[in-house]
Amino acid sequence: MTKIFLGIVIGALLAWLFWKPKNGFDDRPQSVRREQNLEKLLELVRSNGLVSNDDAEKALGVSNATAERYLQELERQGKLEQIGKTGRNVTYKLKQ
């Protein structure tokens, strides 16, 4: 009986020490995450040549709207150029 109790206590202690929530919570400041994601997105465009909103969304693990904002921000900064007008036909490349 004491072995079972001791096993439960040790198991609970280890779970408490090493368990990390898997809810995707990121405790970095938002501005840091944003800048890091913008840089990752630029690297993705450099390596692939072209990137779509869906590519950005998957690579960064962000929502569709956030990926679109990032792409538009890089376009406003003059780093990317949009190809296509609307929908699935829109991709981005490095601005020459």
Per-residue pLDDT of the chain (96 residues; tens, 9 = 90+): 777 877 887 877 777 666 655 555 666 788 888 999 999 999 999 999 999 999 999 999 999 999 999 999 999 999 999 999 888 889 999 988
The tokens describing 48, both together, are: 């692939």
Lookup result for tokens 């869906």: 54
Quote the pLDDT of residue 19: 65
Quote the pLDDT of residue 7: 81
Quote the pLDDT of residue 3: 78
Q: What is the pTM of this model?
A: 0.69
Buried b / exposed e over 15-25, threshold 16 CB at 10 Å, is: eeeeeeeeeee
Q: Which of 45, 48, 47, 49 is nearest to 74 (CA)?
A: 45
Quote the pLDDT of residue 54: 93
Instruction: Give me the domains of the chain, ranges plus CATH numbers.
Output: 29-96 (1.10.10.10)
In the 8-state DSSP scheme, what is residue 79? S
Q: Are 57 and 64 in contact (CB under 8 A)?
A: yes
